C-alpha cells in the first residue's frame, strides 16, 4: 500500500517509536492521527507537522476514546487505511521478590495496556477499514502492532511485560488469517533495545552497557529505524501474519 494520500492512526504517537512513525508517514504523504495520553507532547508534534497531522487524547484501553480517535480520522481525512500500535508501558518485578509475590495489580495493568489495549486498537481499526474500497492488490488496510524481543527471550523480572508482548506476537497470525477476507494485513514488530524515552530514564552507564550487548550494530536502535520498517510493512503486500524482530541479532541474557 502506498502511504501517499492514505490516512493513518498511530497510538502512542506523541513520542519515541510512535513519533518517529508519525513523521515517517507524513513524509511519505500520509495524513496521520496522533492518538496518545500525552496531550502537550502530542499537540507540539502536530504543530510541527502542520496540516498533515491531528492529535486526539486517547487511552488505548478505553473503547470510547479509541472510537473517537477513529472517528476523527474519518471526519478530518475521510477514512482509515493504516493503523500502528505503539502505545505501551514497561514494567518490571520479580515473581517473588524481597517483599513477596509480584502484585497482581501490576501484572494486570501491564497486560491491560500492552495486550488488551493493542487488541482494542486493532479490532476497532480493522472494523473501520472494512468500509474502504480495495486497491489494485485488493487491500483495504494494514495494521502494525508493537511486540518486543522480550516476548521470546524475556529476562528475570519481565514476567508481566514478556507475557503482554508475547500475547501481541501470538495474536498476529490468527488476526491476519481472519482479516484476510477483507484485504487487511496484520504484522507485528518486535524491537530490541531502542533509544526511547523509556530507556532515557536509565543512567548513561546502564544505557551504554545495554548498547554493548547488541552484536551489530553495537548501539541502541534509533526510532527512525523502527519507522522505516513500518513503512516497509505498509508498502510490501506480501508481509502479512509475521512478527519481525528488529534487534541487531540481540538475544537477551537471563538478567
Sequential pLDDT tens for the chain (255 residues): 999 999 999 999 999 999 999 999 999 999 999 999 999 999 999 999 999 999 999 999 999 999 999 999 999 999 999 999 999 999 999 999 999 999 999 999 999 999 999 999 999 999 999 999 999 999 999 999 999 999 999 999 999 999 999 999 999 999 999 999 999 999 999 999 999 987 777 788 888 888 999 999 999 999 999 999 999 999 999 999 999 999 999 999 998
Q: Is residue 249 part of a domain?
A: no
Q: How many angstroms separate the CA atoms of 62 and 180, rounded?
A: 26
**Predicted local distance difference test score (pLDDT) of residue 29:** 98
Cell 488496510 maps to which residue? 141
Instruction: Residue 74: give its domain's CATH number.
Output: 3.40.50.720
Q: Is residue 147 part of a domain?
A: yes
Q: Is 228 left (phi over 0), alpha (psi -120 to 50) or beta?
A: alpha
- What are the backbone dihedrals phi and psi of residue 57, each rounded to the nearest 5 degrees, phi first? -65, 125
Q: How many angstroms separate the CA atoms of 22 and 18, rounded?
A: 6
Q: Is residue 165 part of a domain?
A: yes
**Predicted local distance difference test score (pLDDT) of residue 200:** 76
For residues 115-125, one letter each, b for 16 or more C-beta atoms within 10 angstroms of the residue's C-beta and e for the rest, the string is: bebbbbbbebb
Q: How many angstroms separate the CA atoms of 135 and 121, rounded?
A: 23
**Predicted local distance difference test score (pLDDT) of residue 202:** 74
Rg for the chain, CA atoms, rounded: 18
Q: Residue ranges of the alpha helices (H) in the chain?
A: 16-27, 39-49, 63-77, 104-111, 117-129, 150-153, 159-179, 197-200, 204-212, 223-235
* DSSP reduced 3-state for 39: helix
| Angle, vertex CA 157, rays to CA 156 and CA 163, nearest 5 | 95
- Of residues 161, 182, 194, 226, which has the active-site annotation? 161
**Predicted local distance difference test score (pLDDT) of residue 27:** 97
**Predicted local distance difference test score (pLDDT) of residue 23:** 98
| pLDDT, averaged across the chain | 96
Q: What is the pLDDT of residues 140-185, one digit of tens each?
A: 999 999 999 999 999 999 999 999 999 999 999 999 999 999 999 9
- pTM for the model stands at 0.96
Q: How many angstroms separate the CA atoms of 112 and 90, rounded?
A: 12
Q: Is residue 250 part of a domain?
A: no
Tell me whether residue 77 is one of the annotated catalytic residues.
Answer: no
Q: Is residue 1 part of a domain?
A: no
Q: Is residue 2 part of a domain?
A: no
Q: Is residue 255 part of a domain?
A: no
**Predicted local distance difference test score (pLDDT) of residue 206:** 81
Q: How many angstroms separate the CA atoms of 192 and 91, rounded?
A: 16
Q: How many angstroms separate the CA atoms of 17 and 33, rounded?
A: 15
**Predicted local distance difference test score (pLDDT) of residue 151:** 98
Domain count of the fold of the chain: 1
What residues make up the domain containing 228? 7-244
Q: Is residue 60 part of a domain?
A: yes
Amino acid at each position: 500500500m502506498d502511504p501517499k494520500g492514505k490516512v493513518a492512526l498511530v497510538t502512542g504517537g506523541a513520542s519515541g517509536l510512535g513519533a518517529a512513525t508519525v513523521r515517517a508517514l507524513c513524509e511519505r504523504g500520509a495524513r496521520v492521527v496522533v492518538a496518545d495520553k500525552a496531550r502537550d507532547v502530542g499537540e507540539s508534534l502536530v504543530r510541527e507537522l502542520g496540516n498533515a497531522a491531528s492529535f486526539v487524547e486517547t487511552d488505548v484501553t478505553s473503547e470510547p476514546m479509541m472510537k473517537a480517535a477513529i472517528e476523527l480520522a474519518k471526519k478530518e481525512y475521510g477514512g482509515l487505511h493504516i493503523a500502528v500500535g505503539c502505545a505501551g508501558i514497561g514494567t518490571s518485578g520479580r515473581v517473588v521478590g524481597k517483599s513477596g509475590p509480584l502484585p497482581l495489580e501490576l501484572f494486570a495493568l501491564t497486560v491491560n495496556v500492552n495486550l488488551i489495549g493493542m487488541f482494542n486498537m486493532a479490532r476497532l481499526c480493522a472494523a473501520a477499514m472494512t468500509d474502504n474500497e480495495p486497491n489494485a492488490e485488493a487491500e483495504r488496510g494494514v495494521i502494525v502492532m508493537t511486540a518486543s524481543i522480550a516476548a521470546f527471550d524475556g529476562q528475570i523480572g519481565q514476567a508481566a511485560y514478556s507475557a503482554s508482548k508475547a500475547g501481541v506476537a501470538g495474536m498476529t497470525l490468527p488476526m491476519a488469517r481472519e482479516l484476510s477476507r477483507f484485504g487487511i494485513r496484520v504484522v507485528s514488530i518486535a524491537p530490541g533495545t531502542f533509544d526511547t524515552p523509556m530507556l532515557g530514564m536509565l543512567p548513561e552507564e546502564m544505557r551504554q552497557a545495554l548498547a554493548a550487548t547488541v552484536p551489530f550494530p553495537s548501539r541502541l536502535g534509533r526510532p527512525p529505524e523502527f519507522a522505516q520498517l513500518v513503512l516497509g510493512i505498509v508498502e510490501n503486500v506480501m508481509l502479512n501474519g509475521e512478527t519481525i524482530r528488529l534487534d541487531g541479532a540481540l538475544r537477551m541474557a537471563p538478567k
